[in-house]
Amino acid sequence: MCAAHRRSDAAATAVAPPSAPPRAAGRRDRRRLARARRRGVEAGQDVVIGRDVVFDLGGGARVALGDGVALDDGCRLHVAAGGVVTIGAGTRLGARCAVTAQRAVTIGARCLLADEVVVIDAEPRTADVERPVREQGLAARPIVIGDGVRVGPSAAILAGTTIPGGAVIGARAVVRREALPPLPSPPRGA
């Protein structure tokens, strides 16, 4: 194997971090989780919460974290009154990810959102050109991310998006509405 192939193989494995939590849930995670539960966060077993994770919940908002979810340092979950965020078992959100829900955001099991991914289920209304945008309010549409989805660093997933299970979203991608289904894997030996 030539050196170029070895470098590309090494780079490919370095780009996709493991979907398992970076470490086992420890005493600090349990303390952070206890604080989050006092704010109304529901969580399963072995949840890992990094430093400076923010849970900003409005009245009646709900956040549910499945078993083995890992929120890396600096993640922010902003949920408006009546909004719902559900994160499936074994999912990992990289450092400084932001999830904002006016209505509903559902992230499936075993997903990997790399560093600085933004998931936001609302966008400004712009129907009246005579009124300032800030006075027209927001249009919220739910976001659904299927099981086993991988999202590259600094990607943005916008209102009304549905991403099918197993899809891979590239770095710095902007995803609106319906994402294409994943390509079938090539047959072995071809």
- Tell me: pLDDT of 79 over 60: yes
Distance CA 70, CA 51 (A): 12
Residue 23's pLDDT band (boundaries 50, 70, 90)? low
> Which of the pair, 3 or 120, is modelled with greater confidence?
120
User: What's the longest Cα–Cα distance across the chain?
Assistant: 64
Distance of alpha carbon 30 from alpha carbon 22, whole angstroms: 16
Q: For residues 139 and 125, is the Cβ–Cβ distance under 8 A?
A: yes
**Which has the minimum average pLDDT: 15-29, 37-51, 114-128?**
15-29
What pLDDT shows up at residue 99?
Answer: 97
Residues 144-186 have pLDDT tens digits of: 999 999 999 999 999 999 999 989 999 999 998 776 665 566 6
Query: Rounded distance, CA 168 to CA 190, Å?
Result: 22
pLDDT at 190 over 50: yes
Sign of the alpha-carbon dihedral angle for 117, 118, 121, 125: negative
- Number of neighbouring beta carbons within 10 Å of residue 162: 15
| Confidence (pTM) | 0.80
Query: What would the CATH number be for the domain defined by 20-175?
Result: 2.160.10.10
pLDDT surpasses 90 at 6: no
d(CA 62, CA 60): 7
